[in-house]
A = this chain, B = another copy of it.
Amino acid sequence: MTYAKTAAFTQEQQQLARVAKALAHPARVAIIQFLASKQTCISGDIAAELPLSRTTVSQHLQELKALDLIRGEIDGLTVCYCLNTELLQQVYQQFTSFFIEATTGPACGPADACAC
């Protein structure tokens, strides 16, 4: 019958999935790249750079902010968004570990199928 174990997923798996989800939309990838490219921590006229409405961009920003991947500080009338490079570096490490683990295991043959 192959019934499931009740053991839930590990914290690591959940954390990786959470961050992956944050990057799972081109708009959020674009936002991070945009923030990384700008000298100044440019405010939410990020919206002007994306094919999305201001509202939608704002939501994406909130999602990234919820994970603390980016930060926003109110500066008078505008909001100054910028990357949390410290956290991004940590996340980078997590992804690196994961990919190294994944790329050093047993694999399929180069072209087509399994060499089990």
**A59 interface hit (Cβ, 8 Å):** no
**Contact indicator A48/B105 (Cβ below 8 Å):** no
| Chain A window 13-31, contacts with chain B (Cβ cutoff 8 Å), 1 for yes, 0 for no | 1101100111111111110
List of B residues within 8 angstroms of A101 by Cβ: 33, 36
**Contact indicator B50/A29 (Cβ below 8 Å):** no
List of B residues within 8 angstroms of A91 by Cβ: 99
**Contact indicator B47/A106 (Cβ below 8 Å):** no
Instruction: Give the total of A residues in contact with B, Cβ under 8 Å.
Output: 75
Least CB distance, A80 to chain B, in whole angstroms: 5
Contact of A5 among B6, B13, B51, B99 (CB under 8 A): B51
A-B contact pairs, 14 of them (CB 8 A): A2-B47, A5-B48, A5-B50, A7-B51, A9-B51, A16-B29, A17-B25, A32-B98, A39-B106, A40-B116, A71-B114, A83-B106, A88-B99, A92-B99
